[in-house]
Amino acid sequence: MVRWKRAGFLLMLDIVFANLAFIGAMLIRFESVSIQQWQFYISAFVPYTVIRLLSNYFFGIYRRAWRYASIDEVLAIVGAVSVGSIFSVMLCLFWYGALPPRSIVVLDWFLNIALLGGSRFAWRVIAPHTSGLAHAQQKRAFKNVLIIGAGDGGVLVARELRNHYGTRVRLVGFVDDDPAKQNQSILGFPVLGPKEEIPDLVEQYGVDEIIISMPSVPRRVIREIVAVAQETGRTVKILPGVFDLIDGNVTVNKIREVQIEDLLGRDPVKVDIAGMSGYIADHVVLVTGAGGSIGSELCRQIVALKPQTLLLLDNCENNMYEIEMELKAKSDVPLVALVKDIRDRGAIEAIFSKYKPQVVFHAAAHKHVPLMEQNPEESIKNNVYGTYQVAWAAHRHKTERFVLVSTDKAVNPTSVMGASKRIAEMIIQYLDTISSTTYVAVRFGNVLGSRGSVIPLFRKQILAGGPVTITHEKMIRYFMTIPEAVQLILQAGALATSGEIFVLDMGEPVAIMDLAMTLIRLSGLQPYIDIDIKVTGMRPGEKLYEELLTDEEGVNATTHERIFVAKPSCLNKALLHETITAFEQGPRVALPTNQATTAAFIQSFLPDFVVVTNADEDSLDDASDDSTRWPEDEAAATSLGEYGWNV
């Protein structure tokens, strides 16, 4: 009913405006209108009015939300009036056999645009204020808002705040470092200064909320601005992601609290979609560990590339159910859910025999470092033997490509988990030399939001009131987002040729102490005042910092700016052949069963690896004696802890 009333009101308004424009054109042209001219107008009233209304209708004038009018609406008005004028002239020519004076046509066209456009844009100006008055009548207090960024994002956010909140929000202005924008006015709001003046501006204008609207700037700049804004003690929010600007797709519900992903995530990855889709589209693809953090994101991105069939393999039925339901809801790609164990030779063989996967992404792994230190034999069974079973099946069934998801902990490993992943890398490198299947591995560090990440733990500890626990005040780690890591895994798969170990550019390392303090501040609390931080001592298998390459490997560039390839290192082919032969006899023969046999197994591949026994665990707190977990000297350790760069 409201819609029909609105349409009826606009129709009546346009009837009046169209005829006022025609009469005005005659009065301006002739100054005094003769009886014959009035008779002409009266006879043409109905067809002229119908032409104007129909033209408006076909240009969507009655279907537009005029409170959000922009240049598109201006073009629609000009188009509707112009077409209406053309058909009006044709009416005169065919109905009356004569053309009207050209000055009448031009004046009528101009006045129609002025009246039709003026009425619509008057509503655009009035509507936000009427909405604001209604809210004000509900006695809702307004808050002062400062927008950081006077570019496209900032302008769209300012417009959205004005249109949605009215007088509940008072936009005091913008902050922007661009000298050309200083002392300028945007949408009637001033650009007050650069980011260094944020604290003074907050005090001067009584700012309650700061909105960072710079979705396309580097994350380094976002971190700097967040640090400055948080020092003011005001609420800090952010407009995340450059994609929110596409087609003006910015709404106030996308403006949210700053999250750690906004600070640690890096600039968008440019990937070769054609290259990625070339080896996945119309292929049967298998993802192991499909219910895990990396595996599930692999599945999400793979279905977008339209494989022939996607095989999801995981030994956890709950994880499998969740990802299967999610993918079915948003894609029509055929899915096969396989609740299997990668160590089960018969199950893996049956899968490869039946479905003949052409591409395999092997993400299934035990990856929790302290847990694997307590259960070292399980790490070997799953990460080494399980990887072998899937990789060997790929060889037997002539799979085209096998991609192992590895870790930076495989480099100079000090943990059983890292050692198991390094041995898994060696196995697939060896298989690449004897198989028609292309085998590759991809190494990267910690991913934000994964189940093994420290960030969910910190958040739980903050919600519980603290303390936040870190194992060493100088520990640093690399971080990237899960979607970014998976994009680069898929891209590395496209670059694969023969047994490479691809290394992802992890960006700048982050001090874990700084990470803990940032998370506390993002929660609106103060470190050591509201939430304490406790150093607990390094756990078994941990490193102070992670590496991405062994001393022997070095690195070569690839065609992608964020993917590098480790130079081939010498493989002990005799040992690998012996191991595979033993694996073929079954796990009871080949696999370790306790800590001692696990140590012997690992050291046969990695002679320098030191297994931390239970008796050694107490010595981990004295990290200066643990050369495998520390930089070579104290000065290097201090530099790493303070700056977090140049690992």
Burial class from Cβ neighbours inside 10 Å (0-12, 13-18, 19+) for residue 57 reads middle
The two structure tokens encoding residue 9 = 């009101």
Q: Checking phi first, is residue 378 left (phi over 0); if not, alpha (psi -120 to 50) or beta?
A: alpha
Helix axes 595-605, 416-434, angle to 10 degrees: 50
Element (H, E) at 83: helix 71-91
Is 610 in a helix, a strand, or coil?
coil
26 C-beta neighbours (distance < 10 Å), count: 21
Exposed/middle/buried for residue 635 (C-beta within 10 Å: 0-12, 13-18, 19+): exposed
For 211, the enclosing helix (H) or strand (E) is: strand 209-212
Helix (H) or strand (E) holding 125: helix 102-137
403 three-state secondary structure: strand
Instruction: State how far the Cα of 61 lies from the Cα of 608, in Å rounded to an integer.
Output: 76
- How far, CA to CA in Å, does 609 sit from each of 419, 475, 599, 627? 8, 21, 9, 12
Is the dihedral angle over the CA atoms 62, 67, 72, 77 positive or is it negative? positive
Tell me which residue has tokens 């008779």.
39
Angle between helices 2-30 and 35-58 (to 10 degrees): 140
CB 566 within 8 Å of CB 387: no
The string of DSSP letters for 336-358 reads: EEEE--TT-HHHHHHHHHHH--S
* DSSP character string of 272-290: -HHHHHHTTTTSEEEEETT
- CB-based contacts of 291-294 (< 8 A; 24+ apart in sequence): 291/316, 291/318, 291/319, 291/320, 291/322, 291/323, 292/319, 292/363, 292/364, 292/451, 293/447, 293/449, 293/450, 293/451, 293/452, 293/482, 294/363, 294/405, 294/447, 294/450, 294/482, 294/485, 294/486, 294/489
Given a contact cutoff of 8 angstroms between Cβ atoms, the answer to whether 515 and 470 are in contact is: no
> Pairing between strand 476-477 and 169-175?
unpaired
Which residue among the candidates 195, 340, 409, 421 is catalytic per the annotation? 409
Q: Note if 306 is an active site residue.
A: no
Structure-token pair, residue 95: 């109905």
Measured CA to CA, the distance from residue 496 to residue 362 in angstroms comes to 15
| Residue 619: burial class (beta carbons within 10 Å; 0-12, 13-18, 19+) | exposed
Give the pairing type, strands 235-238 and 256-257.
Answer: antiparallel
Element (H, E) at 458: helix 454-463
Candidates 585, 391, 581, 563; CA nearest to 489 is: 563
The catalytic residues are: 409
